[in-house]
Structure 1
Amino acid sequence: MAHIVFDGVRKTFGEFTALDGIDLEIADGEFTVVVGPSGCGKSTLLDLLGGLARPSGGRILLNGRPVTGPGLDRGIVFQQYALLPWRTAQGNVEFGLEATGVPRRQRAARAREFLDLVGLTGFEGRHPHELSGGMRQRVAIARSLAYDPDVLLMDEPFAALDAQTRESLQDELRRIWQSTGKTIVFITHGIEEAVYLGQRVAVMTSRPGRIKEVVPVSFGDRSALLGEDLRSSPEFARYRHEVWTLLHDEVARARQQEKEAVA
């Protein structure tokens, strides 16, 4: 049985249809990236899986059970870090553990463990304003991982970062995924990011959003090809072109929809 199942999922907002007939299955431990044109419903899809919204039709199953609301089996990382400014990095990671009743001493040890996992040993006592954007996003990732969710949901988490930091965190995220074995659903509008991170890339249509095609991405031993080595490989170029070809018409259609909405 698939770990996550979208079965005919539909989402409307009044007369506006954001998603229409989403069918997608994601295996346990899989890194799936969802890519599509602006306004296609990518973030809405993630909100539904996170239990932050309810589908208007169809169903979403997690481990065979319907998703009916938020839960500790899902950790969410947003584009904006959403850190508590009055708490240190360690305090922010401990925040989610407090809600689950983890004793204070265990909270501190677990927070340090996950800050080390994301490469922030030595920064436990820093407040968010004392950290760079990339470091803040690392804290957000550590916070989501600390209470051990089954699934990590990521909504364009690196979009606001500069190119060098973004690529560094992509490498970091792949390392974390390989070491933890978490199921990850990652939303992006970047084709290169989708191909670099995902085992499978689900391409969405323009509004109303549907799954146009799912592209399996296989580079063999990725650990032997990281960073620029992988991005400059012929295989990477081939996958990037395949996803770009699928997206090209959808982006043009989305732009036409925007023009018609303004007119």
Structure 2
Amino acid sequence: MPEDTPPLTKPRIVFEGVRKDFTVKDRTGIGQRARFTALDGIDLEIADGEFVVLVGPSGCGKSTLLELLGGLARPTGGRILLDGEPVTGPGLDRGIVFQQYALLPWRTAQGNVEFGLEATGVPRRQRAARAREFLDLVGLTGFEDRHPHELSGGMRQRVAIARSLAYDPAVLLMDEPFAALDAQTRESLQDELLRIWQRTGKTVVFITHGIDEAVYLGQRVAVMTSRPGRIKQIVPVALGPRTATDDLRSSPEFARHRHEIWSLLHDEVARAQQLEKEEASV
């Protein structure tokens, strides 16, 4: 089972001086195009089996960073290494879970989980068995034949997680997967995700706006600056096994980590809001 502080081994993921620029239409209305930098000088190493959470103000490039790691976009500068090899595109070694479930409405829960396995050529009988295995892993035994419209939001997200896990990626990338859920469901799925992570040993990179969620889930929390996004500070979170107490979120250690991350974010959020005002006035 992963520990709160991973051993210093060869990292599974390495960001080296990663920069990402975008070209956008200039607001002056004269047809010119402008460039802005979303990410600049990102350096970060993530160990095998580690759970790392990224937090930062809106527009700081968190999702862009995840897209680069997922191979959905290419960096303007620097490089990203996965197991020592440059990331040049999407791959089955990475599973992605977004805020929106992106389930196929005409397929059952089992059919949605099988979908990714079909693309990799897994035989039909093995697909069915593996889909049931991972639906059981996320607590959906008995719901295999339900369609997405017959499932709650939390259940749909469980299906999405099962689908991403079924083809056994080494790395799980999660972009605010619980943001649209009510507080009680969100906390329940946080516990479920920790249980799955502890059982599978996957490397998880998780994006959230919630400081409490970051502290509860992460072994380390990488706090990002306002745009252009940089790593401001990495906060190790030492809370012991997350299942050791029924009220971990009320513990003094939890409050201390939460305050530290809030303090780091406070000025960055203010800067981001000021930048938005300046851009809106142009």
TM-score (ref. length: structure 1)? 0.98
Take 1:197 and 1:46, find their aligned partners in 2: how far apart are those partners?
17
Take 1:138 and 1:147, find their aligned partners in 2: how far apart are those partners?
15
Letter in structure 1 aligned against 2:161:
I
Is 1:168 aligned to 2:188, yes or no? yes
Take 1:84 and 1:124, find their aligned partners in 2: how far apart are those partners?
14
Q: Shift of residue 130 of structure 1?
A: 0.4
Partner of 2:20: 11
Same amino acid, percent of matched pairs: 87
1:108-119 to structure 2, matched below 5 A, reads 108-119=128-139
User: More helix by proportion, 1 or 2?
Assistant: 1
Partner of 2:269: 251
Letter in structure 2 aligned against 1:148:
D
Is 1:75 aligned to 2:95, yes or no? yes
Q: Shift of residue 219 of structure 1?
A: 1.0
Deviates more, 1:213-222 or 1:88-97: 213-222
Partner of 1:225: 245
Take 2:170 and 2:199, find their aligned partners in 1: how far apart are those partners?
14
**Secondary structure of 1:253 counterpart:** helix
Is 1:22 aligned to 2:42, yes or no? yes
Letter in structure 1 aligned against 2:244:
A
Q: Shift of residue 55 of structure 1?
A: 0.2
Is 1:142 aligned to 2:162, yes or no? yes
Take 1:103 and 1:112, find their aligned partners in 2: how far apart are those partners?
14
Take 1:63 and 1:262, find their aligned partners in 2: how far apart are those partners?
42
Larger Rg: 2
The CA RMSD measured in Å over matched residues stands at 0.6
Is 1:205 aligned to 2:225, yes or no? yes
Partner of 1:45: 65
Unaligned runs of 5+ in 2: 1-9, 24-34
Letter in structure 1 aligned against 2:260:
E
**Secondary structure of 1:224 counterpart:** coil
Letter in structure 1 aligned against 2:73:
A
Letter in structure 1 aligned against 2:280:
V
Q: Shift of residue 222 of structure 1?
A: 2.5
Deviation sequence 1:160-212 (CA, Å, 0-9, x none): 00000000000000000000000000001110000000000000000000000
Take 2:37 and 2:278, find their aligned partners in 1: how far apart are those partners?
16
Unaligned runs of 5+ in 1: none
Is 1:185 aligned to 2:194, yes or no? no
Take 2:163 and 2:104, find their aligned partners in 1: how far apart are those partners?
11
Deviation sequence 1:45-87 (CA, Å, 0-9, x none): 0000000000000000000000000000000000000000000
Partner of 2:4: none
Deviation sequence 1:107-166 (CA, Å, 0-9, x none): 000000000000000000000000000000000000000000000000000000000000
Contact 2:113 2:160 in 1 (8 A): yes
Give the paired residue count: 261
Of 2, 11, 26, 1:2 maps to 11
Letter in structure 2 aligned against 1:2:
P
Partner of 2:5: none
